[in-house]
Structure 1
């Protein structure tokens, strides 16, 4: 007879890559819920869409990987899979990636943060021609346990995320400060924020949690989305094989 999951699962069509809003690099089409298992397909750059009260992740760009320890990443338009959007080619043993479009024109360069700077700066930063360096530094908002109890953890997390233009329904995890702080303070990490100081639109890109997925939201109008997608692909690939 009919399988309930197959009957109920909606068709998720590809969407155009040049669109506003948050995105994720994942094989998830539908996150797990109390009544449904997670649904997975091809690893891709995916846009979040709400349907019948649930998040679905529609593909914008399909990803292929070639090479070994420092792989080459290729992104293809999900609405026209034969069309190349961009490629990221490693240099200096993967310490940086040169990103080019389908006609081999340079879009920008991704740089891995040196180990000595990773306590104050996130893992990758990037540069576009004729723009300031786009860098993400570590920031923390400090709140007391009493404040959390009074306002609720979700509200505190939401307020912290708003400081850097959070994505819709983002959830910022709360971590208890180690070391036995007698004042009962709690660290609330903000979403990662990449900034280009000196630019008219200095806030370029943010990253936070949406439905348990690490999501990204471009903010600066001058940012080439293909470079944002490639940065996310390189970061997510470092989490493990696909």
Structure 2
């Protein structure tokens, strides 16, 4: 006899190895909400897409543990071996930056918070990995130096707006407006981090897949753990 009204059991979604190639996201959603079903959530983690019985799930790959409130630090653990520390993010002295170390305490690189003066042309977070140029994302419309952009903004304001455009732009960019989904039909533009600012040296991109902000490492030399660190600082 059929039994009606019973909730459908969710399948067990196994963790996925952290070094698997492809895009990832950071969050608590295991299965996104649908028209008929609520979202299924879990612990904060770096997650990768997997499909089970035709349904997309975001399987945990790296578990994220946070300590501290005002200036938080993070520890990232291999989800397939929860006792194995993959890397740690700790605030570094001398500015808004995080030192990223591996499970043995060896430095992997730094994740920097962009200075306010540069946020009109450069994304809020950027990377340093030893042996490689700085990995920076410039906004797609930004041309020239900070001073040149600010000058153009002032000229435009004087001509008609009556406000300093660069001040408005800076306040918007503080929230990462390049890829914010504000609920409108606007399609957020991807953010592209490049090594040394060269067009061909794409290291990491951030975009959206079905409304979920995702990250995709491109350069074979980029340590995937640094990409995780940057994403965690943006999303956690």
Q: What is the match of residue 179 of structure 1?
A: none
Q: What is the match of residue 103 of structure 1?
A: 104
Distance (whole Å) between structure 2 residues aligned to residue 192 and residue 122 of structure 1: 8
CA displacement, residues 198-241 of structure 1 (integer Å, 9 cap, x when unaligned): 7796111111111221111111100111110011000112xxxx
Distance (whole Å) between structure 1 residues aligned to residue 68 and residue 180 of structure 2: 35
Aligned length: 197
Distance (whole Å) between structure 1 residues aligned to residue 36 and residue 183 of structure 2: 28
Stretches of structure 2 that go unaligned for 5 or more consecutive residues are: 142-178
Aligned to 2:196, the other structure's residue is in SS state: coil
**1:117 and 2:118 aligned:** yes
- For residues 51-90 of structure 1, the aligned pairs below 5 Å read 51-90=52-91
* Structural RMSD (CA): 2.7
Stretches of structure 1 that go unaligned for 5 or more consecutive residues are: 141-170, 177-185, 238-242
Distance (whole Å) between structure 1 residues aligned to residue 129 and residue 5 of structure 2: 49
Distance (whole Å) between structure 1 residues aligned to residue 62 and residue 26 of structure 2: 9
Q: What is the match of residue 139 of structure 2?
A: 138
TM-score, scaled relative to structure 1: 0.74
Deviation of the 1:74 alpha carbon: 0.2
CA displacement, residues 21-61 of structure 1 (integer Å, 9 cap, x when unaligned): 11001000011112221110000000112334332101111
Q: Would you tell me which structure has more strand in proportion to its own residues?
A: 1
Deviation of the 1:190 alpha carbon: 2.3
TM-score, scaled relative to structure 2: 0.75
CA displacement, residues 150-189 of structure 1 (integer Å, 9 cap, x when unaligned): xxxxxxxxxxxxxxxxxxxxx996999xxxxxxxxx9865
Distance 1:195 1:39, change over 3 A: same
Q: What is the match of residue 146 of structure 1?
A: none
Distance (whole Å) between structure 1 residues aligned to residue 87 and residue 197 of structure 2: 27
Q: What is the match of residue 16 of structure 2?
A: 15
Distance (whole Å) between structure 1 residues aligned to residue 94 and residue 183 of structure 2: 35
- For residues 1-242 of structure 1, the aligned pairs below 5 Å read 4-7=6-9, 9-92=10-93, 95-139=96-140, 189-197=188-196, 202-237=201-236
Distance (whole Å) between structure 1 residues aligned to residue 226 and residue 136 of structure 2: 14
User: 2:135 touches 2:197 (CA, 8 Å); kept in 1?
Assistant: no
Distance (whole Å) between structure 2 residues aligned to residue 31 and residue 84 of structure 1: 28
User: 1:70 touches 1:94 (CA, 8 Å); kept in 2?
Assistant: no
Distance 1:43 1:172, change over 3 A: closer
